[in-house]
Structure formats: C-alpha cells, structure tokens
C-alpha cells in the first residue's frame, strides 16, 4: 500500500505575499504541515508542489521532496487537482504510483499527525468511498439574504445553541483520495465521501488573512502551555 502526501504551495498568494513560508511563531507556515506529514506512519512520501524557488528551498530544508510546478498550473484559476495530477504523473515516470493521494494544504498548520493517520486509516478501512475528508462541527444558524430578508436554511431551530442538532462543514484540513478516483474525476472529492470529524477545532484553523496568523500564534502558545503542564 503506497500513500503519498502532496502539499500544494504556489508562490502567488495575493492576500499575503509568499504566505506559505511566512513565519508563524518563528517557523515557516508550510513547515508545520511538512513536519506533521513526515511523522506519519502511514505516508511513504511527502512532496511539495511549487512554482517558487524560495518555497522549494524551505520544503527541502524541512525534509520534503519538491516537484517543480509549471507556471500554467500555478495561476489563480488553476485547480489544486491539476497540481496533484502533475505530481502523480511525474512520480510515475520513476515507477512510483500511490494507491492514495493525501492533500495537505499548507494553510492548516495546526493539524496533527494523529489526524492525518486517522483519515488514512479510515480510507483504507472504507475503500467503497472515493474520498475521506475532514469536517468540523458547527451549531450556527445559517441562512440566505433575499432582497434584504434573512431566510434560515434550516427553519425552526432552537434558539439555545446547546439544543440545536449539529451541522458539519468542510474543514479543508485533510483529504485522502484514491488515485484512480483523482484521475477519473479530476477531483479530490470524487463522488462519495466519508467524513472524519476534527475533534479539536483548533486543528481546523485555516490561514487566509493576516488576522488568522494572530489567532494561530495564540493557539500555538496555548498548546505549548498545555504541554508544559502535562
């Protein structure tokens, strides 16, 4: 059984220039994902797909393989799946073909190795599903605005948060996709999906804006305090 991790990390972030290697508590953002992946007992390779030399150097410094991504696959419009398929094609030339591709976005620095391994285990245990993906629980009340009028997606929910039935949202933290499905559908999601709940909501923090760095640094400090106090 071969399981490949791919960390897609292009250099063209507009909201935060070179966001993927911006320091988070003194460590390049992408390094947290590489470290979690390389500690996994289920992954046999960890590859960073990038079009930027500085990102490639950081990836190598932290122990990941690097595959240079063509510029055409690194635009704002290019789906992540194109980069994943490119990695699979490049590795196939050396005779390596994974059974599963694990997509780990570098913007989720707080995911743990345990969560990665749990998702891979579920994928192997449930081969009838195309994809195993992480989801986060929410008890928020969602709705739409129609001509200024707010309409609940799920009417008649209790006003007390504790009494509401939980909903689940895609957390974008871990995706484990059968390689044949990725090639068939050109999608990490496939047609059938198995959801793994992120038990610790801190693992689902996704960094997209400068404020997210402040939040993540606070969480990292909290984790350090918890570890120090056992």
**Averaged pLDDT of the chain:** 95
Specify the pLDDT at position 227. Answer: 77
Residue pair 68/9 in contact by the 8 Å Cβ criterion: no
Does residue 63 surpass a pLDDT of 80? yes
Q: Nearest to residue 118, comparing CAs of 135, 139, 137, 105?
A: 135
Specify the pLDDT at position 38. Answer: 96
Does residue 84 surpass a pLDDT of 70? yes
> What confidence tier does 87 reach under pLDDT thresholds 50, 70, 90?
very high
Residue 132 backbone dihedrals phi, psi, to 5 degrees: -110, 130
Residue pair 22/15 in contact by the 8 Å Cβ criterion: no
Residues 6+ away with beta carbon under 8 Å from 24: 32, 109, 207, 213, 216, 217, 220
pLDDT in tens, 30-45: 999 999 999 999 999 9
Does residue 70 surpass a pLDDT of 70? yes
pLDDT in tens, 141-172: 999 999 999 999 999 899 998 888 899 999 99
Structure tokens at 208: 């997209």
Rounded to an integer, what is the distance from CA 162 to the centroid of its chain? Answer: 29
Does residue 180 surpass a pLDDT of 80? yes
The pLDDT > 90 percentage for the chain reads 87
> What confidence tier does 230 reach under pLDDT thresholds 50, 70, 90?
low
> What confidence tier does 224 reach under pLDDT thresholds 50, 70, 90?
confident
Residue 141 neighbours by CB distance under 10 Å: 16
Q: Nearest to residue 33, comparing CAs of 99, 112, 95?
A: 112
219 by DSSP, 3-state: which? helix
> What confidence tier does 93 reach under pLDDT thresholds 50, 70, 90?
very high
Specify the pLDDT at position 64. Answer: 98
Q: What is the pTM of this model?
A: 0.93
């Amino acid at each position: 059984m071969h399981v490949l991790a791919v960390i897609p990390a292009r250099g063209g972030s507009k909201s935060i220039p070179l966001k993927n290697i911006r320091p988070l508590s003194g460590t390049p953002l992408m390094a947290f994902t590489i470290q979690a992946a390389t500690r996994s007992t289920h992954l046999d390779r960890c590859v960073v797909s990038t079009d930027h030399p500085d990102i490639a150097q950081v990836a190598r410094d932290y122990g990941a393989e690097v595959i240079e991504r063509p510029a055409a696959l690194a635009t704002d419009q290019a789906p992540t799946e194109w980069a994943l398929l490119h990695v699979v094609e490049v590795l196939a030339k050396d005779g390596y073909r994974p059974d599963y591709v694990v997509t780990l976005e570098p913007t989720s620095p707080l995911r743990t190795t345990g969560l990665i391994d749990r998702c891979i285990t579920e994928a192997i245990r449930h081969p009838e599903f195309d994809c195993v993906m992480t989801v986060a629980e929410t008890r928020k009340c969602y709705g739409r605005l129609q001509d200024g009028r707010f309409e609940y997606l799920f009417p008649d929910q209790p006003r007390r948060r504790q009494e509401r039935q939980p909903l689940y949202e895609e957390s974008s933290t871990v995706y484990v996709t059968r390689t044949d499905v990725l090639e068939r559908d050109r999608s990490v999601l496939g047609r059938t999906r198995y959801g793994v709940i992120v038990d610790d909501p801190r693992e689902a923090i996704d960094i997209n804006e400068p404020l997210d760095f402040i939040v993540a640094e606070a969480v990292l400090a909290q984790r350090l305090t918890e570890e120090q106090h056992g």
